[in-house]
Chains A and B, each alone.
Chain A
Amino acid sequence: MARAATTTDAFNAVSEPRRRQIIDAVAAGERSVGDLVILLGLPQPLVSKHLRVLREVGLVAARDQGRQRLYRLNGVALKPIYDWVKDFEGLWSERFARMDSVLAELAQVTPESTQDGDHDDR
């Protein structure tokens, strides 16, 4: 999958640990910058900087309520990341499904009490 060199997509945006913390926080519900400063224990300018990056790639959306700006997760923007891992996960699920068949056969051939002959295992 092609990746942009700078923080222009969700992949790069979530590569920063602090930004992942922010994503986790806003995934639980809407948060103001002040909420996030307290939750993460980070200086406000740094939180604002990370929020700006997250908004630019669409991971976080904002709305104004009175004098506060509230930030929330835009989960659709995470989907490419999920899709990226999902294919790899699919391969392993296929492998393990086949291992299930192999293991069902081994269990019949070698009951619990029987030692395996061809390996050193117990």
Chain B
Amino acid sequence: MTGNSRAVVTLPSDTQILITREFDAPPHLVYRAWTTPELIKRWWAGDRGEVTSAEVDLRPGGRWRYVMTASGGFEVAFHGEYQEIVPAERIVCTEVFEGMPDAAAVSTVTFTDRDGRTTLSVLVQHQTRENRDAHVNSGMEGGMQESMSHLEEVARSLA
């Protein structure tokens, strides 16, 4: 198994979120788990609810929409449109939280092969810092530019 199994979230700029994680599986399988509706239903809600719907029209111009019912009972939905698809390598799509319909982001998901393992990175590009901040706030239970990851390490060491 991977030595670092946690997601790593950094904020590379005022309008971006970068999520990375290594998987003990080759890119074509990670890609499959990422894009197959019945598989998405098994992971996308995390421990915070249940995915009630996952629609995926996996082609440029095709749309996607995920709906989850959070443990608190409320419903959360996201949708978007695929802009670029390179199977098992890269997906670029728009992403809109339906609770904030004006705050569209563009996500670039990259699947990088490392000797049969996969480094997954999700770069979310927002239009404004406010939208980016709201997205980070959306942890559903509920720094900042190029050196943010550094700050996080510092904070982590002191927490």
Interface residues of A (CB under 8 A from B): 1, 3, 11, 14-15, 17, 20-21, 23-24, 27, 73, 75-76, 78-79, 81-82, 84-85, 87-104, 106-107, 110, 112, 116, 118-122
Neighbour of A82 across the interface among B7, B29, B155, CB < 8 A: B155
B interface, size bucket:
35 or more
Neighbour of B9 across the interface among A14, A85, A122, CB < 8 A: A85
Contacts of A82 in B (CB 8 A): 151-152, 155-156, 159
B30 at the interface (CB under 8 A from A): yes
B39 and A102 form a contact (CB under 8 A)? yes
B150 nearest CB neighbor, chain A only: A24
Interface residues of B (CB under 8 A from A): 1, 5-9, 11, 14, 17, 19, 21, 23-36, 39, 42-48, 58, 87-88, 116, 120, 129, 133, 135-148, 150-152, 154-159
A76 nearest CB neighbor, chain B only: B158
A112 to B115: give the CA distance in the assembly, Å: 13
Given known pairs A23-B151, A79-B159, the reply for A110 and B139 (CB within 8 Å) is: no
B23 and A100 form a contact (CB under 8 A)? yes
Q: Interface of chain A, helix or strand or loop or mixed? A: helix
B135 nearest CB neighbor, chain A only: A88
Neighbour of B151 across the interface among A81, A87, A97, A112, CB < 8 A: A81
A73 to B158: give the CA distance in the assembly, Å: 11
A68 to B7: give the CA distance in the assembly, Å: 42
